[in-house]
Amino acid sequence: MPRPAVVWFRDDLRLADNPALTAASAGNAAVIAVHVFDINAEPRAIGAASRWWLHGALETLTADLAAHGVPLLTLAGPQRETMIRLVDRLDAASVHWSRRYEAGGVSIDSALKTHWRSQGRVAHSHKATLLHEPWEVRGRTGDPLRVFTPFWRAARATGEPPPPLPCPAALRGATVADADSVGAVPIAALGLRPTRPDWAGGLRATWSPGEAPAHRQCRAFLETGLDGYGEGRNRPDRPMTSALSPYLRFGHISPRQLWHITGTAVQSAVSAASDGDVDKFRAELGWREFSYSLLFNHPTLHRHSVQSRFDAFPWRDDPAGLRAWQRGLTGYPLVDAGMRQLWTTGWMHNRVRMVAASFLIKHLLVDWRLGEDWFWDTLVDADPASNPASWQWVAGSGADAAPYYRIFNPVLQGETYDPKGDYVRRYVPELARLPASLIHRPWTATPAELRAAGIALGETYPRPIVDHATARARALAALETLKPNADSRRINVSTKNQ
């Protein structure tokens, strides 16, 4: 009996444009698909919202593979030991997987590749989750680029990404006589979905994990969101973002597919978007690429500041403030709307993510790592590179970071990007009856205006837990403690509209 080829699925849960699957099926080899859930994965296991997503993703992948006669074996346990045991029992001729870039995963993959090759098996990793490998984009000196604009310029100079691969035409599955004997368990046995309590109702109402839903969402974005994306993406009150981030994070759709789909849509008039809109969308893919370059070159990105001077920053211990932020009860409507959107749907608009993160870090002086941890647990698109890189960008501690003196004013941000208050009304319904002129600053309303809106500040909706001007001054004073590196002349520049 011919020996099978194993495809180890991780963050590439799709059939099309999956180089590992294509390579495994070459030569009419019979394929067995595998997913290993490791609750003790290094450097950390995925969060609760991502586990919910993964359950649905594995169900749809199982069905998609079954349509081609390919079994998906789901297993639980330490990745290295589990895969060695499985491949031995299957006596696989080859093992294929998509490359990953976290230090812990790289170490496991390197050890497995060495082990399997020593046994005479083919063991091959493939580029599938990025447009460019982190080592492919370098500066003139050969060093990693630490600023986004030159990074993206260098990446674009490498040329257009090749066209995406189709689903393998000759895909066929191997027979697994006894899945139990190789340690396979039902997806439900992985314990990915919450039960007591079941808090995932909002996630179920918002998302459908899987490759087909990813492409449906992509088509909807091309038809209604790409045109005007360059400016509209900043408006949380409008459906102008792609909402593709969780699909991209779990690999239901690839960056290479998105790159070519957006260009083709404009060329074929599927979308009325301009080249500028496409460039802006592709630049967002570029930020993802840049984040992975940072992660690859800074393996502890989620725990240690890229700029070591921030190790001495005087963070405050403020459990009450952190809890108010997590629950969406800060008294700043835009921040609260974002945090409640996150809790309800497992997702938050990117502009609001920046404002909410800035509020925790700079208004409350709470360590960015605590905010990153919360997002890691509650986002369905919690990405090991983009999540910590974005938090460090806001904190000012990253490689290409927002200057610390850039402190978002949540009131001005709300009035600029949610001018009618529609976003706030959706997620903070207790403020719904306030007029647009007051909805982002309810504490300025008169008693009569509050009564008319059915609001009792401090009871039905909190007063601000910190004054913006006071918090800004405190944050800048904290930055001064990092001298001599801090540049006080730059700190005092105008922050109007920020």
DSSP state of 3: P
Does residue 28 carry a catalytic annotation?
no
List, edge to edge, every strand of the sheet that includes 72-76: 72-76, 31-37, 5-8, 94-98, 122-126
String of b and e for 293-320 (b: at least 16 CB within 10 Å)? bbbbbbbebbebbbbeebeebeeeebee
Question: Are β-strands 72-76 and 94-98 bridged in parallel, bridged antiparallel, or unpaired?
Answer: unpaired
16, 253 contact by CB (below 8 A): no
Q: What ranges make up the beta strands (E) of 279-410?
A: none
96, 80 contact by CB (below 8 A): no
Alpha carbon distances (Å) from 175 to 14, 73, 93, 316, 399: 21, 11, 14, 58, 49
The active-site residue, picked from 42, 136, 315, 443, is 315
The active-site residue, picked from 287, 347, 374, 376, is 287
Cα 459 from Cα 443, distance rounded (Å) = 13
The active-site residue, picked from 207, 368, 376, 393, is 368
Cα 292 from Cα 264, distance rounded (Å) = 26
Cα 94 from Cα 116, distance rounded (Å) = 9
380 Cβ contact list (under 8 Å, min separation 6): 49, 50, 52, 53, 203, 207, 246, 249, 346, 347
Does residue 368 carry a catalytic annotation?
yes
Cα 53 from Cα 151, distance rounded (Å) = 31
- Nearest residue to 8 via CA among 94, 89, 66, 88: 94
Alpha carbon distances (Å) from 433 to 96, 211, 422: 57, 40, 11
Cα 395 from Cα 4, distance rounded (Å) = 49
Does residue 284 carry a catalytic annotation?
yes
What are 183's two structure tokens?
Answer: 């340690």
Does residue 350 carry a catalytic annotation?
yes
Cα 458 from Cα 463, distance rounded (Å) = 5
The active-site residue, picked from 102, 211, 284, 415, is 284
The active-site residue, picked from 52, 347, 391, 393, is 391
Identify the helix (H) or strand (E) that includes residue 140: none
The active-site residue, picked from 199, 350, 430, 449, is 350
Q: What ranges make up the beta strands (E) of 322-368?
A: none
Does residue 393 carry a catalytic annotation?
no
Q: Which residues are catalytic?
A: 284, 287, 315, 350, 368, 391
